[in-house]
Structure 1
Amino acid sequence: MATINPYIHFNGNAEEAFTFYKSVFGGEFANISRYKDISSVEYPIAEDDLNSIMHIALPIGKSNVLMGSDAMKMMGEVTENDNRYTVAIIAESKAEADKLYNGLSEGGKIEMPLTDTPTGSYFGMFADKFNVQWMVNFDPKFSVQD
């Protein structure tokens, strides 16, 4: 089955954002490429973009990868509307939901506190300190626990 993985664009702070995400999710980066890695006579990259992130990937869980990059300055800035989608996390437990929600929302803006809902799930929403929208959900009806 195919997987769907979020890809987030940043204005020069992708490495900072992904270092933060790694501190919450754990794991190691599967890939970090910079624009300087592809700069050549045939494909010159502007000096102020050389050290920016061209691609970064952080595996999360068994089959998901959070990916991102910095927008090159010649392409203009990424606006809030460019990143106006929401990254949805399905936690395997309430404890995991708490850890991810509390970690990722640190320094951000809470839109809906993590709480038990009338439908039986444990759900919350926020924008992180990089203005990326997140939803965290744990639903015991769909939990696969040993």
Structure 2
Amino acid sequence: MQFTPYLSYGGLCRQAFEYYKEHLGAGKLEIMTFRDSPMAEQTPEHWRDKVMHAALELGDGALMASDCAPDQVYEGMRGSSVVLSAKTDAEAKKFYDALALGGSVQMPLGPTFWASSFGMVTDQFGASWMVMCALPR
């Protein structure tokens, strides 16, 4: 079994996923817009280039997302975080710094009793992240 986080953005999905691809060492990025879908004609013209579905390879997993439907009021992301596990403390710092840029820090990156590095940040696109490097076993 595999779990894949699915995030919802209020119009910034493409920018967020292109940023993640560049700064998180991600693999393949796939984006489908409302314009590319069978629903294009039912979608307001100003929303057709927004993301209907995005998938980004991240390590052994994936992150998926979309922009909210054009008839929905976007209320932001809340109540969950994406956990990003780094292989080293240096990698954790790189990821944390990239996600914190333009965002807001909830917990500075540092050692804890459960991880050699752990920090929490909400990125510039509104997604909440927990970045960590586990203690050696």
Which residue does 2:50 correspond to in 1?
A: 52
Within 5 A, what are the aligned runs for 1:122-133? 122-133=117-128
Change (3 A) 1:36 1:87: same
Change (3 A) 1:87 1:40: closer
Which residue does 2:106 correspond to in 1?
A: 111
Q: What is the total number of aligned residue pairs between the two structures?
A: 137
Alpha-carbon separation, structure 1, partners of 2:47 and 2:114: 47
AA partner of residue 72 (structure 1):
A
CA shift digits 1:88-120 (9 cap, x unpaired): 111111111011001111111111111011345
Q: Say whether residues 1:87 and 2:86 are aligned partners.
A: no
Two-structure CA RMSD over aligned residues (Å): 1.9
* CA shift for structure 1 position 128: 0.6
CA shift digits 1:31-78 (9 cap, x unpaired): 21111122369x7222222111111111011x211111111221x222
Which residue does 2:34 correspond to in 1?
A: 35
- Paired-residue identity, %: 31
Structure 1 unaligned spans of 5+: none
Change (3 A) 1:141 1:48: same
Q: Pick the structure with more helix per residue.
A: 1
Structure 2 unaligned spans of 5+: none
* CA shift for structure 1 position 30: 3.6
Which protein shows a greater Rg?
A: 1
Alpha-carbon separation, structure 1, partners of 2:27 and 2:113: 37
Alpha-carbon separation, structure 2, partners of 1:129 and 1:123: 19
Alpha-carbon separation, structure 1, partners of 2:120 and 2:39: 43
Q: Say whether residues 1:72 and 2:69 are aligned partners.
A: yes
Change (3 A) 1:15 1:119: closer
